[in-house]
Structure 1
Amino acid sequence: MAVTRTGGASARWLSFAEAQTAQLPFDDPAETVITLDYSSGQRALEDDDFPFEVLSDIAEAESWRKEINRPTTHIHKWWAQRLGTVFRAMVLGAFAPSGTDLFELFYKPVRIKDAVVFDPFMGSGTTIAEAVKLGARGVGRDINAVAHFLVKCALSVHNRKAILDTFHEIEYDVADKVRSYYRTTLPDGSSADVLYYFWVKVIDCPSCDTPVDLFSSMIFARHAYPRKYPKSRAVCPSCGGINEVRYDAKDAQCTSCNKCFNPSDGPANGQSATCPTCAHKFPIAKTVRTKDEPPEHRLYAKLVLMPDGTKTYLPATEEDHKIYAKAQRSLSRRKNAYPIVGITPGHNTNQVLGYNYRFWHQMFNARQLLCLSFLADRIREIDDTVLRELFTCLFSGALEFNNMFASYKGEGTGAVRHMFAHHILKPERVPLEANLWGTPKSSGSFSTMFEGRIRRALDYADNPFELRVDHSAGKRKTEKVYGLSEKIGFPVAEDYASFAEGKRVYLSCGDSSATDLPDGSVDAILTDPPFFDNVHYSQLADFFHVWQRHILGDDGYRQQDTTRSEREVQNAQADDFTERLSGVWKEAHRVLKDDGLLAFTYHHSRPEGWRCVLRALMEAGFGVTAAQPIKAEMSVAMPKHQAKEPIDLDIIIVCRKRSQIQKHKWNGDLFSTVTPVATRQASRLIDSGRRLSRNDVRIIVMAQVLRQLSHAHSMEDALQILDDMNGDTEALIEKIHSLQKNRSKKQKGVS
């Protein structure tokens, strides 16, 4: 590694030792830049003292607001969007020589000139974005057309003025037309914008045919922190009046009709509902399936933005129903207003199919479809391809918050809970309809997402920053450090020939087990492969894909009306997952230079998940040289909060070609090999203040087991030992996990 000062006559080179201790300014990277010389030999990512504790603290800070701290790779929904902090560290560690103070290097303006970094599972583009920020060249490939599309939009060169002008042109042409369907007349005769409409699913009682509202509670609006802010709103089951109640109230008297009711109770309870008219109890899903259509919805309330800027909950009126009926009539007269594409059965779509949602457009109500069609038709008219794709990306992102699977998060936070909060397609019993164009006080609208996603991403692309965490004075303070990275925005190559001529970024859509990259053309492969589980991204991504295709046409990667592929790695079947992952690793082995690293993040709570990875790596000719625990992305994800033993860590699994590493015969002796390393890593994390679940410890232990086994002379021996040692690994996991309990008891005793 060397440092070069590019400031004219004063330019000079510093030695590696000098570079390690040089105090370099953050504000002018053009004057002082560290250039990494990625010669052969062990890399910093393989060092035992890789600073995963402090890097995890930075990643933790990023994870709470990923869309703000890494907006370029969060302009659109993708699942398991990895943390930029982690991948910046991985890029640096893959090229910095062993012994480098990687934490110190993290906050210096580093450039890795001419290095080619490949991500075969590019997802939201985190690897490519972090690589090009550091001056490297990025090659990204993903089998899913939605992933390819959003990364292309994120990393392309964008003309800020043209983007702003185009937005204002769309606003001029469409905004008032959309807003007209989200207006209401107040009691004093004045007009106001409706921020949100509140709906409830309705199904007929199988016994008496009376429509039953599927409320589990009549309280429909509460604060995100109800104990601190207990005021909530409940709808009267008798007259529909809106009442102010405590969030935990068990009795209330309606201020409109004076009837008493239990605000915390409702007809729906779990998977069943009870008819208020005849008291018949019936299963909800089974009753829905007796019909040919999805359940109907009833509009019962709205949140209005008053002229003075305050917000008021009001019951739905006859005027509201008339405006909605007008939208239904207008929609029926429009041609090609929305995509009509069937939903294919699958693990992540069977639930909605069970509720009779047969087509993607059925997830929206008539007003949403009408207003979306206004926007879609206008975006389709944009002449410039890059601009048309960027605004299609914005439109597609807004879909996540403007459908009848979205719900109300409440006050004190972003109001709209998007449809993928649970990573599944979950039919919402009390959906929220947001104002599609939006107001300055809206959440999830087209206009606010332009400000919050597109403009923020443009700002970050022009001036990227990293987060620094300061623990002084007993409080954690986060600050932004600028001047470390190159700007983001490049002409994107669409084939390797264009990339070979000098373009910085090459993105493609297709099976990563078969690429057009030449042998030995890649310096490092850094990625986050799909997990061996039941969340199939393509089944969920089709929700966006059909609309992107509706606007942009069926050219290129959008020829099919689905993003599903038989060659997807993501698969719940162990053998299929292993075969396809192995295929990608074999291709990685072919295109990677002999002295290059393959490093990827991974975690899994089941033994099969680790066995699959070991087998795939060894079949492809890779062995594990290091395994570093690091903060995973899920600080605020719903699945994490619902898990009994939540996983908060990923493992960075670092690999080299087996032809470059020394083989050994290992008998599964955990005590002398795995135990010291795993215990040391867990202790470092615990000492840094991080609490580890049993599954976090399992990840640390299993990664070190794989590290040992991957150096075996044969894959068959490695897999046999892994199968035989399950009981021993469980005992070791329990032993290390108990360290945390013992330390906690000692600390309490001291205090």
Structure 2
Amino acid sequence: MQIDVSFDVTLADGLAQLEAYNKHHYRPNTYLHKWWARRCGTTFRLILKHLVPDPVLRGYYTPGGLTGKIIMDPMMGGGTTLHEAIRLGANVIGGDIDPIPILQARATLADVSELALEQAYQRFFRKLRTELDPYFMTRCPTCGIQTQTWFVLYAARRRCSCGPVLVVDSLILRQEMDGSVIRLCQDCHAIVQGDVVCGCGGMDAESLPAPLIEKQTAVCTQCNQLFHDDLTTPYFARYEPLVIVAHCQRHNLFFKTPDWIDREALQRADDRRGQLNLHRADYVIEPGRKSRHLQRRGIDNYLDLFSSRQLLYLEHALAFLPQDEPLIQLNLALLVSTSLEFNSMLCGYKGKQKRRAGAIRHTFSHHAYSFPYTALENNPLYHRKASGTLEKLFQSRIRNGRSWARQPRERDLSEEKSVFVDIPGEVDAGVEVSDVHELRSGTQRFLLKQGSATHFDLPDGSVDAIVTDPPYFDSVQYSDLSAFFRVWLRQMLPDGANWTFNINDSAVDPHKSDRTSRYTELLSAIFSECQRVLRKDDGRFIFTFHHWNPKAWAALTTALKDADFVLINRYVVHAENPSSVHINNMKALVHDAIFICAPKEVSRKVVWQRPFQINTHDSYQFCYDCATLLGWMLENELEDEEIKQEWRDILR
């Protein structure tokens, strides 16, 4: 098998270095809903191409090549393996313990009518706007014309012994390319443009509102006390509206202080809040490694993370979702759910930067819950295709995704300047089946299973290759974060998934005190199940991995040993954008090791040379050395304690 002896690392690196910066532009059909830690689709396509038996069809830009093969990903997350394999003609099996990956794979792999989806969306969007536009209307401060609010900026309410204070991330609202700024007056909260001096200097101190400060000021200069939040107040009410942002047909973009019309609209929404058909018992926050950060701030219910207008949007979305066509309902439910990343009071503001990729710092910009001082309340029904609006998300996640699925494209690096080229004959879509026996014939069929990857209802030796990206030791518990979306999807799609799954079956477990042994135990069980369902003659178990921690490498080595896998080969490829907010200024690896494993009893003998030191100063070499040492340990059948000691000694 080609991948046993060679892999085009040069091509993989060239493609991944481009894709890593904007993965969603390269594979839009796989990005319908938020998920975390996605790997480059180009890398996984290239891995699968090296499994193609016919040399004529192995070229990266050649369509197909895996017809008649069954490819499996038992921990599919964002679904990269399934999408790449189905494009090549394979039948695929995908599994995940969390419902969201299952629902997203079903929605994006199914061949649904684009026209029917478009028409259903337009009806849905019109109904929402009819009901909710009155809550999002404002007036231009120059001409008084009525227009839709784009977003509202809020300041955090804090206190000291002197009284209340308002805190923002920055007093600057916008920096123009000519260097001029739009800013907030610290004293009266007025919006000031350019070098204009605010006219509040002569105002009586008692007439001024609460002081407005930037977040760097943590201690009151008068009483020397730390500012603190009032944790007895619901989270959404811990903010004060400061700035309305909208567009006027005559005067373009404007920033204005909320007037009585704006405050009246906010009050009407607040008055409706207690009457909404949203039951707090359905949205209780369960404790987890990440959700505990909410509870420490006095937040025990997901409803409190949304403004009253945002909850009105969600209540009406639940009511207006089409019920007659399951796949259309599924797509629109996922669209509404993923819009919440841009439509909660956890969203921050980044529009002050000169280079503005979008005004919204979304809810999970840091793979965790973060709490802005300047909160941004977005209007999800804004008529422009602006950041985080339904119009923008439908365009980028569904229209663009479906268009790409009909005619996938890849970057061609052969020219001086890389360009996108069509891959004729490929489609990123298939037919869902409910039984593994239906995968033995036909092409581009997919079988989805929600549950623990420690057991699949599959015959022994029924899978040609397993290609996956397992959860990393001590990585973020994504099923904990995804509860932010899951509580809403459960209401929109009550019969769409098993919503009461056991999070303890996740390999990244937030509840056990001994996470190392739990991770090893579950990973061993998962890998053993992979060994069982894999074909023994030429089946391959392929996965990507990187980590700094010796405990992670020891757990991985032990799991492979327990499952009777040996390492046939390893390759190291570029994986991460080094400027990513998630790894910037951290001791982060930007490469993945690709492990090519086979069942021990049938694999050819591979002799591994033990590296006596690991290069910890270079991401590529570190991954290469660690992967090589893992191969040596498996070859020499070290005991568990010996494995742990070897990794401790070499990575200390």
TM over 0.5: yes
Matched, 1:568 2:506: yes
Structure 1 residue 173 displacement after superposition: 1.8
Aligned 8 A contact 1:646 1:693 in 2: no
Counterpart among 453, 461, 477 of residue 512 in structure 1: 453
Q: Structure 1's 721 and 494: CA in aligned 2 closer, same or farther, altered over 3 A?
A: closer
Q: For the structure 1 residues 521 and 345, does the alpha-carbon distance in structure 2 shift closer, same or farther, using more than 3 Å as the test?
A: same
Q: What is residue 233 of structure 1 aligned with on the other side?
A: 182
Preserved contact between residue 532 and residue 571 of structure 1 (Cα < 8 Å): no
Quick one: structure 1 residues 161 and 669, their matched pair in 2 at CA, closer, same or farther if it must change by over 3 Å? closer
The 2-side partners of 1:323 and 1:178 are apart by: 11
| Correspondence list, 1:298-697, <5 A | 298-308=240-250, 310-336=252-278, 340-379=282-321, 381-410=322-351, 412-470=356-414, 472=416, 477-484=417-424, 486-500=426-440, 502=442, 504-553=445-494, 555=495, 557-560=497-500, 565-571=503-509, 573-594=515-536, 595-634=538-577, 637-643=580-586, 645-661=587-603, 669-670=610-611, 694-697=618-621
- Cα pair 2:285 2:300 within 8 Å, conserved: yes
Could you say which residue in structure 2 is the equivalent of 1:19? Answer: none
- Give the residue type in structure 2 aligned to 1:348: K
How many angstroms does 1:222 deviate by? 4.2
Q: For structure 1, list consecutive stretches of 5 or more residues without a partner in the other structure.
A: 1-42, 246-251, 679-691, 731-751
What CA distance in whole angstroms lies between the structure 1 residues aligned with 2:45 and 2:607?
35
Supply the distance in 2 between the matched residues of 1:229 and 1:537 (Cα, whole angstroms). Answer: 42
Aligned equivalent of 1:71, options 18, 28, 33: 28
Q: Return the offset for 1:383.
A: 1.1
- Post-superposition CA distance 1:143-181 (Å, at most 9, x none): 111111111111111101101110121133222332222
Amino acid at match of 2:191: I
Query: Quick one: distance in 1 between partners of 2:550 and 2:16?
Result: 27
Other-structure match for 1:685: none
Q: Residues of 2 paired with 1:185 and 1:60: CA distance?
A: 46
Within 5 Å, which residues of 2 pair with 1:172-251? 172-187=126-141, 188-205=143-160, 207-208=161-162, 210-222=163-175, 230-244=179-193
Contact 2:68–2:441 at 8 Å: present in 1 too?
no
Q: SS in structure 1 opposite 2:598?
A: strand
After the TM superposition, which of the residue ranges 133-142 and 88-97 deviates more from structure 2? 88-97
Equivalent position to 2:2, from 24, 44, 53 = 44
The verdict on how the C-alpha distance between 1:78 and 1:669 changes in structure 2, with shifts beyond 3 A counting, is closer
Q: Cα distance 1:629–1:547, how it changes in 2: closer, same or farther (>3 A)?
A: same
Amino acid paired to 1:74: Y
Match of 2:59 among 105, 111, 116: 105
**Which of 39, 64, 77 is equivalent to 1:123?**
77
Deviation at 1:231, TM superposition (A): 3.4
Q: Is the 8 A contact 2:284 2:301 kept in 1?
A: yes
- One-letter amino acid matched to 2:392: T
Gaps of 5+ in 2: 204-210
The one-letter code of the counterpart of 1:413 is A
TM-score, normalised with respect to structure 1 = 0.79
| Deviation digits for residues 26-76 of structure 1 (CA, Å, limit 9, x no counterpart) | xxxxxxxxxxxxxxxxx222224x221221111121222222210111111
**Equivalents in 1 of 2:642, 2:561: separation in Å?**
13
Secondary structure of the 1:217 match is coil
Structure 1 residues 575 and 63, CA gap change in structure 2 (3 angstroms)? same
Query: Does the aligned pair in 1 maintain the 2:607–2:632 contact within 8 Å?
Result: no
The verdict on how the C-alpha distance between 1:431 and 1:216 changes in structure 2, with shifts beyond 3 A counting, is closer
Cα distance between partner residues in 1 of 2:527 and 2:244? 53
Corresponding residue number in structure 2 for 1:282: 226
C-alpha offsets along residues 276-335 of structure 1, whole Å, 9 cap, x if unaligned? 7x4433153xx545x364361100002111214721222222221111111122333332
Aligned to 1:6: none
What's the secondary structure of 1:642's corresponding residue?
Answer: coil
Partner Cα separation in structure 2 for residue 447 and residue 725 of structure 1: 51
**Which residue of structure 2 lines up, in the alignment, with residue 10 of structure 1?**
none
Query: Is the contact between residue 185 and residue 198 of structure 2 (CA under 8 Å) also seen in structure 1?
Result: no
- Match of 2:207? none
Note the C-alpha offset of 1:624.
1.1
Contact 1:392 1:551 in 2 (8 A): yes
In the TM superposition, residue 534 of structure 1 has moved relative to its aligned partner by 4.0
Greater Cα shift, 647-656 or 487-496: 487-496
2:187–2:212 contact (8 Å) kept in structure 1: no
Q: Is the 8 A contact 2:342 2:362 kept in 1?
A: yes
Structure-2 separation of matches of 1:616 and 1:101: 36
In 2, are the aligned partners of 1:574 and 1:608 still within 8 Å (CA)?
Answer: yes
Q: Measure, in 2, the Cα distance between the counterparts of 1:597 and 1:719.
A: 27
Contact 1:107 1:484 in 2 (8 A): no
Q: 1:191 to 1:45 in 2, by over 3 A?
A: same
How far is 1:139 from its partner?
Answer: 0.5
Aligned equivalents of 2:365, 2:129: Cα separation in 1:
28
Is the 8 Å Cα contact of residues 70 and 91 (structure 2) preserved in structure 1? yes
CA contact (8 A) 1:212 1:275 kept: no
- Per the TM alignment, residue 266 of structure 1 is displaced from its structure 2 partner at its CA by 6.5
Give SS of 1:522's match.
coil
| Structure 2 Cα separation of the partners of residues 150 and 179 of structure 1 | 29
C-alpha spacing 1:445/1:339, structure 2 compared with 1 (3 Å) = farther
- Per the TM alignment, residue 596 of structure 1 is displaced from its structure 2 partner at its CA by 0.6
Contact preservation (8 Å) 1:253, 1:259: no
**Contact conserved, 1:337 with 1:370, CA < 8 A, in 2?**
no
**Distance across 2 between alignment mates of 1:111 and 1:253:** 66
CA-atom RMSD in angstroms: 2.7
Does the CA contact (< 8 Å) of 2:45 and 2:85 recur in 1? yes
Mapped to 2, the partners of 1:398 and 1:293 lie a distance apart of: 22
After superposition, give the CA deviation of every residue in 1:443-472 in whole Å (9 maximum; x if it has no partner).
Answer: 111121111111011101111111122562
Shift of 1:611: 0.8
What amino acid maps onto 1:506 in structure 2? L
Rounded to whole Å, the distance in 2 between the matches of 1:127 and 1:259 is 66
Higher relative contact order (CA 8 A, sep 6+): 2
Equivalent position amino acid for 2:366 in 1:
H
In structure 1, what residue type is equivalent to 2:5?
D
Normalising by the residue count of structure 2, what TM-score does the alignment of the two structures yield? 0.91
Deviation of residue 693 (structure 1)?
5.8
Corresponding position: 1:92 with 2:14: no
